[in-house]
Amino acid sequence: MTFGRNIPVSQTTRAGKMKRALHQHLVARKLGADAATIGRTGGEKGTFSPPTSVLGHGDHVGTGPTAQPCTARPFDEMPGPRGLPLIGSLMDYTPLGPFSLKKLHESFFERYRQFGKISKETIGNKCFVSVYDPRDIETLFRTEGPNPSWMQLMALGEVRKRLGKSMGMINESGEKWRQLRYAAQSKLLDPKSVCCFAPVLDDIAQGFVDKMRAGRTSTFEPSIDMDAELRKWSLESVVSATLGIRLGCLQTDRQDPDKDTEDLLESSEAFLETWPTLELGPPLYMLYPTKTWRKFLRANEQWLSAASRMIDRSLDRNESPRDPLQPEVTLLEHIVTRKELTPDDIVMIITELIFAGIESSAFAMTYNLYTMAKNPAVQENARREVHAAVGRGGEITQDALKSLKYVKACIKETFRVFPVFSMRNRILDREIVLSGYRVPPNVIIRVLSHVTGQVPEYVPEPDRFLPERWLRDDPTLPKPHPFAVRPFGVGSRSCIGQRLAEQELVILLAKVCTTSSQSANLTLVSICGNQISL
């Protein structure tokens, strides 16, 4: 079948009911012709930023207005680079300037050194305010309201417009964004629902560990591409959670790789290779199709096509016996009958979650393994905790997850040192006072917690890797400001897949620990000459 095509309604199986509901949904919304096209679309050292949401701290944020002191200084007096008429400081981000688009985080650190905890900057026709003080970050998030806005991704929005696709949660705003967000978050942000993914995520994590063992050479060094295998692990995990199907990415005896798997991994890599140039550079693609734009367009077409085929497989797999490791209801099954969503909306929700799941989880896990290997004492403490909870080689169950406080603290601390996202932004429809300056509406406010996590005033002893700083029952260490390190964001625009991502990381890191022994002289993971022994 093809997702969006006319679907037989005479079936009485679970899959038949789902297909019948989707068919009725299409007819009711008169989407026949449009819906039928779905599925046929031809850190280095010094980066900081950790979590405080699911891994230990509450993430509730109020929406009341922030007090506006009468003594606040006008916006014009806020420090920042002077820039040139019409283009501002745009030249600073070209080959003629001091900053590189590939290392944009370096500009954040330099601006902090130049201007302090708040600064403004005009780049082209856009005005930015950069905030580093966690008190300002808290004020901002408590002021944003239930429908926060952010700077849209122009290149991504343009390619989706040209392909005739939904803007998705990333680029939508207002009521449409709320529909998409709430349809997915009722499943993904519910702790009980996410805990149901633990059995299958544990099985996938075990497959990753087994493949790492099988890939060792006689010199005990891995003979496989760690980055590639982590991307396969994260793809297998997120597809299993959202669609309830297994791709077999980590099977050691597999000869022919799955085409959809190859397409997703290849297109996501091409996306990341081309998007920064299009998004941060001059929008030449609006004038003519540059080489980078053509590659970006092909990547999006390839991605959407592969994701649509996977959705078809997920719907069809309900006609077969159900995998006992899978949750009773997948995310797709949860959202497919939502009347407010079009089939295009459903495809875009799934594709965005899969894409984000591949890249962010793989990146985060890479540096969790690195920090664990770099700090043998931390590695040993985590190993002891896991062995006490599940034994050597035991299953990481829902109950075990609750007791792995030190492992979760290690992940928090790794996020502080190596954040997945170095910047977040918000656009308010009202004036706000930050660090004593009045910031007018419609200014792009950048939250640069990448830098905040390295400032001793906000995070004591930032140069030390200290998971203990996140343990509530350890009074020996001063605690960071709660808004200094928020890798998943805060409020209704926070990362919708944060609970799933955190569970993936905890399970795999614990699985590595529970199958390893520091006394043995075998290497499971070797990164930059640092080892996790097995």
The enclosing H or E element of 256 equals none
* Sign, CA torsion 177/182/184/188: positive
Q: Is 45 exposed, middle or buried (0-12, 13-18, 19+ CB in 10 A)?
A: exposed
Q: What value does the mean pLDDT take over residues 269-289? A: 90
Assess if residue 71 is contained within a domain.
no
For the cut 50, the answer to whether the pLDDT of residue 27 exceeds it is: no
The DSSP code sequence of 408-430 is: HHHHHHHHHHS-S-S-EEEE-SS
CA-only gyration radius of the chain, Å: 24
| Count of domains forming the chain | 1
Question: Where do the H-state alpha helices sit in 189-258?
Answer: 191-195, 198-214, 226-243
- Structure confidence by residue, pLDDT tens digits, 338-383: 888 998 999 999 999 999 889 899 999 999 999 999 999 999 999 9
CB-based contacts of 514, cutoff 8 Å, min separation 6: 383, 386, 387, 390, 391, 392, 393, 394, 396
pLDDT classification of 280: cutoffs 50, 70, 90: confident
pLDDT of residue 436: 96
Per-residue pLDDT band for 317 (boundaries 50, 70, 90) equals confident
526: in domain: yes
What are the start-end ranges of the E strands in 101-170?
Answer: 118-123, 126-131
- The Cβ-side half-sphere exposure at 231, using a 13 Å CA radius, reads 16
Residue 114 domain flag: no
Instruction: Considering only residues 325 and 151, tell me which one the structure prediction assigns the higher pLDDT.
Output: 151
Average pLDDT over residues 503-509: 96
Residue type, 76: D
pLDDT tens digits along 455-499: 999 999 999 999 999 998 877 788 899 899 888 888 888 899 999
Let me know if residue 43 belongs to a domain.
yes
As a whole number, the mean pLDDT across the chain is 81
Greater pLDDT, 257 or 341: 341
The answer to whether the beta carbons of residues 449 and 421 sit under 8 Å apart is no
pLDDT digits (tens, 9 = 90+) for 403-450: 999 999 999 999 999 998 888 999 999 999 999 999 999 999 999 988
Inside any domain, residue 7: no
Residue 136 resides in a domain: no
The DSSP 8-state label assigned to residue 21 in this structure reads: H
- Quickly state the pLDDT bin for 319 (edges 50, 70, 90): low
Token readout for 111 is 């601006």
CA distance 139 to 135: 6
What is the phi/psi pair of residue 150, to 5°?
A: -145, 170
Residue 100 located in a structural domain: no
Over the stretch 106-133, which tens digit does the pLDDT of each residue have?
Answer: 999 999 999 999 999 999 889 999 999 9
H/E element, 444:
strand 444-447
Got the DSSP string for 39-61? T-----TT------STTTS----
Whole-angstrom CA distances from 180 to 175, 340, 347, 516 are 9, 9, 11, 42
In angstroms, rounded to a whole number, what is the distance separating the alpha carbons of residues 268 and 462? 33
Q: How far apart are CA 534 and CA 516, in angstroms?
A: 4
The pLDDT of 267-291, averaged and rounded, is 91
Statement: residue 234 has pLDDT above 60: yes
Any binding-site annotation on 195? Answer: no
* Domain assignment of residue 53, given as a range: 14-61+144-244+308-421+453-533
- Residue 442 inside a domain? The answer is no
Strand 118-123 vs strand 523-527: parallel, antiparallel, or unpaired? Answer: unpaired
pLDDT at 309 over 70: yes
The CATH number of the domain holding residue 469 is 1.10.630.10
CA distance to 205, 498, 517, per residue, from 400 (Å): 15, 19, 19
pLDDT over threshold 60, residue 69: no
